[in-house]
């Protein structure tokens, strides 16, 4: 299966997510759309579920070996400047994207500087920070659905907070950014990164904010008010720095994080919706 396509069997999944948690699994790395279509076809023909793997920055793997096939789009990593906008492939790292914007004087995405994600993952989750989301800048999105490549216009997509509702595999997206002086961009990037360092526990493995906020509820504030900062189960802890983060302080297992999530919900009396993806 997946002959002549780069594949890692029995991969240690701890190395493929920012939580540094997980068992083992099979990861396939298609280099182009033709290989991607072939991988999906072979998965379907063999009755195998698959999951599109980005940078693993918003993801919790299980402790046991994963039966799903993980499909990494890391080779879909091109950024192309066009008259209509900038086309960014799904596998582009957000650090690389910010560097491209700085070098080419494109302003608008500085708020994302320091997010350890892939661009496809950011679009899929409608990721955002500091009052911005990626959908503020998107014009259209290229997806693979039912073996066909389709372009979706932004306003044809029922996106919402931390959710894109896209049915299909995100291959890339075209964004609209304005030009400005590179020193302005550099200063904004520095500012947002300093904000992250001050407020977030960047020195520990995590998957970012665990729970989604709503119009009337900010989970981190409620968790803080319940004095749950520092609460530990196994190797997982509610961050003392930011109550919305669960961090891996001592070789945490997935079961530890999940138990801590349930503990927070029980203490708060609210069934928070997770912002992170709990993969089974």
CATH number at residue 176: 3.30.465.10
Q: Is the pLDDT of residue 214 over 90?
A: no
Count of CB atoms situated within 10 Å of the CB of 214: 12
Element (H, E) at 171: strand 169-175
Beta bridge partners, 38, equal: none
Note the pLDDT tens digit of each residue in 23-72. Answer: 999 999 999 999 999 999 999 999 999 999 999 999 999 999 999 999 99
Instruction: Kindly report which listed range (110-114, 153-157, 183-187) carries the lowest average pLDDT score.
Output: 153-157
- My answer on whether 90 and 163 are in the same domain is yes
User: Rounded distance, CA 263 to CA 239, Å?
Assistant: 14
Q: Is 187 a catalytic residue?
A: no
Mean pLDDT of the residues in the chain: 96
User: Rounded distance, CA 213 to CA 204, Å?
Assistant: 22
Prediction pTM value: 0.94
Which of 132, 151, 183 is the C-terminal boundary of a domain? Answer: 183
- My answer on whether 155 and 115 are in the same domain is yes
- My answer on whether 132 and 207 are in the same domain is no
- My answer on whether 106 and 175 are in the same domain is yes
User: Rounded distance, CA 94 to CA 275, Å?
Assistant: 19
Q: Is 275 a catalytic residue?
A: yes
Return the CATH number at 49.
3.30.43.10
Report yes or no on 191 lying in a domain. no
Q: Residues 112, 209, 239, 254: which is the catalytic one?
A: 209
Q: Is the pLDDT of residue 216 over 90?
A: no
- Burial of 24 per CB tally in 10 Å (0-12, 13-18, 19+): middle
Which of 38, 72, 106 is the C-terminal boundary of a domain? Answer: 72
Q: What is residue 274's three-state secondary structure? A: strand
Report yes or no on 194 lying in a domain. no
Return the CATH number at 224.
3.90.78.10
Contacts of 111 (CB under 8 A, 6+ apart): 128, 129, 130, 131, 132, 188, 192
When pLDDT is averaged across residues 4-12 and rounded to a whole number, the result is 97
Report yes or no on 140 lying in a domain. yes
Count of CB atoms situated within 10 Å of the CB of 158: 9
Q: Is 196 a catalytic residue?
A: no
Report yes or no on 1 lying in a domain. no
Residue with tokens 């086309």: 87
- My answer on whether 174 and 218 are in the same domain is no
Domain that holds residue 163: 79-183
Q: Residues 72, 140, 162, 213: which is the catalytic one?
A: 162
Note the pLDDT tens digit of each residue in 83-134. Answer: 888 999 999 999 999 999 999 999 999 999 999 999 999 999 999 999 999 9
- My answer on whether 98 and 171 are in the same domain is yes
- Burial of 154 per CB tally in 10 Å (0-12, 13-18, 19+): middle
Give the count of domains, the chain: 3
Report yes or no on 253 lying in a domain. yes
Residue 278 to residues 41, 62, 258, Cα–Cα distance (Å):
25, 8, 9
When pLDDT is averaged across residues 231-242 and rounded to a whole number, the result is 98
Report yes or no on 193 lying in a domain. no
Report yes or no on 175 lying in a domain. yes
Long-range CB contact pairs, 227-236, < 8 A, 24+: 228/264, 228/267, 231/260, 231/263, 232/260, 233/259, 233/260, 233/263, 234/259, 236/260
Q: Is the pLDDT of residue 163 over 90?
A: no
Q: Is the pLDDT of residue 225 over 90?
A: yes
Which of 72, 90, 120 is the C-terminal boundary of a domain? Answer: 72
């Amino acid at each position: 299966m997946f002959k002549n396509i780069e594949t890692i069997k029995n991969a240690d999944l701890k190395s493929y997510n920012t939580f540094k948690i997980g068992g083992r699994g099979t990861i396939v790395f298609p280099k182009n759309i033709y290989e991607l279509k072939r991988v999906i076809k072979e998965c379907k023909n063999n009755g195998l579920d698959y999951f599109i793997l980005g940078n693993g920055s918003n993801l919790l793997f299980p402790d046991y070996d994963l039966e799903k096939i993980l499909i990494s789009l890391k080779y879909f990593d091109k950024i192309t400047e066009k008259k209509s906008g900038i086309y960014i492939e799904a596998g582009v790292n957000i650090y690389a994207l910010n560097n491209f914007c700085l070098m080419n004087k494109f302003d608008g995405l500085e708020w994302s500087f320091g997010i350890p994600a892939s661009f496809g993952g950011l679009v899929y989750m409608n990721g955002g920070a500091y009052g911005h989301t990626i959908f503020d800048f998107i014009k259209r999105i290229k997806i693979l659905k039912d073996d066909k490549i389709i372009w979706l216009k932004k306003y044809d997509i029922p996106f919402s907070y931390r959710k894109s509702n896209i049915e299909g595999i995100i291959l890339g997206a075209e964004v609209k950014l304005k030009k400005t002086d590179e020193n302005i961009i550099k200063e904004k990037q520095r500012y947002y990164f300093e904000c992250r360092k001050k407020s977030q526990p960047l020195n520990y493995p995590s998957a970012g904010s665990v729970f989604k906020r709503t119009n009337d509820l900010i989970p981190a504030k409620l968790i803080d008010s319940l004095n749950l900062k520092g609460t530990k189960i196994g190797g997982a802890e509610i961050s003392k720095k930011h109550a919305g983060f669960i961090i891996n302080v001592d070789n945490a297992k997935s079961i530890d994080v999940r138990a801590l999530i349930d503990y927070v919900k029980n203490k708060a009396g609210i069934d928070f919706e997770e912002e992170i993806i709990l993969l089974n």
